[in-house]
Structure 1
Amino acid sequence: MSGRSHITSHVLDAATGQPAAGVPVTLAHLAGDEWHVLAEAVTDADGRVSQFGPEIVPVGRYRVTFDTHAYFASLGQAAFYPEVQVVFELADGEAHYHVPLLLSPFAYSTYRGS
């Protein structure tokens, strides 16, 4: 991908205070009543997905799914939430949308970052 991705993410492990490396992440777009996968990635050593999603994105509803089971299993740790789905409305196809996730084995939170 040559340009900056309009949709990015960052996962931090709140229990360890470290970036969550190796989290599988999927981006999907809702078209009609069906979700269509646009991209799949894995968080890097800094817990980031910086090139995630197409360069041009239409306005609409999107879903980022974090495979938290795979992440915690790689650490040999049980977790309550096997996946986290964040659904959001993209209102401006030219804007940058950053979807961070703060993660622990028994809780998570998210917000719109920049």
Structure 2
Amino acid sequence: MTKLTTHVLDVYSGKPGKGIKVDLYYYKNDDQKSKINTIVLNNDGRSDNALIEGVDFKEGKYELIFFVGDYFKKIAEISKIPFLDDVVVKFGISNIKEHYHVPLLVSPWSYSTYRGS
């Protein structure tokens, strides 16, 4: 089944990003977006269920917001104003017959993402 999934790896500690809150938005047009889902990542840094799937999985522009500042405040000694607070990843789904996976590799000071499998 086609769906959208994600996971987070905390490269600072070398562990999964457990407990990170993630919001998913869909862009109706260039300046109007609507929230589709909010999840909290499990102990493996993954969602227990797909962020979106089935008939709700459609072509278009999406946005994931990973609330990493809250996560790093709990596990690391960082300043009260974090360098990275919310990591925003905007991406497009162009083929609803494929699985889309958006991993995030993150530290308190950097991040990387890609289209995974």
**Residues 14, 76 of structure 1: CA spacing in aligned structure 2 closer, same or farther, 3 A cutoff?**
closer
* Residue 35 of structure 2: aligned partner: 37
Q: Which moved more, 1:12-21 or 1:73-82?
A: 73-82
* Residue 26 of structure 1: aligned partner: 23
SS in 2 for 1:27: strand
Q: State the TM-score, normalized to the length of structure 2.
A: 0.88
Are 1:58 and 2:73 an aligned pair?
A: no
* Residue 87 of structure 2: aligned partner: 84
- The answer on whether the counterparts of 2:68 and 2:87 sit within 8 Å (CA) in structure 1 is yes
* Residue 105 of structure 1: aligned partner: 108
Q: State the TM-score, normalized to the length of structure 1.
A: 0.90
CA–CA distance in 1 between the matches of 2:86 and 2:100? 21
Deviations 1:24-55 (A, max 9, x none): 00111000221111110011000002421243
Task: Identify unmatched segments of 5+ residues in structure 1.
Answer: none
Residue 72 of structure 1: CA displacement?
1.0
* Residue 48 of structure 1: aligned partner: 46
Cα RMSD, aligned residues only = 1.5
2:33 alignment partner AA: W
Task: Identify unmatched segments of 5+ residues in structure 2.
Answer: none
- The answer on whether the counterparts of 2:24 and 2:65 sit within 8 Å (CA) in structure 1 is yes
Residue 76 of structure 1: CA displacement?
4.6
* Residue 68 of structure 1: aligned partner: 68
Instruction: Give the alignment partner of residue 13 of structure 1, picking from 10, 14, 20.
Output: 10
CA–CA distance in 2 between the matches of 1:5 and 1:65? 21
Residue 11 of structure 1: CA displacement?
0.2
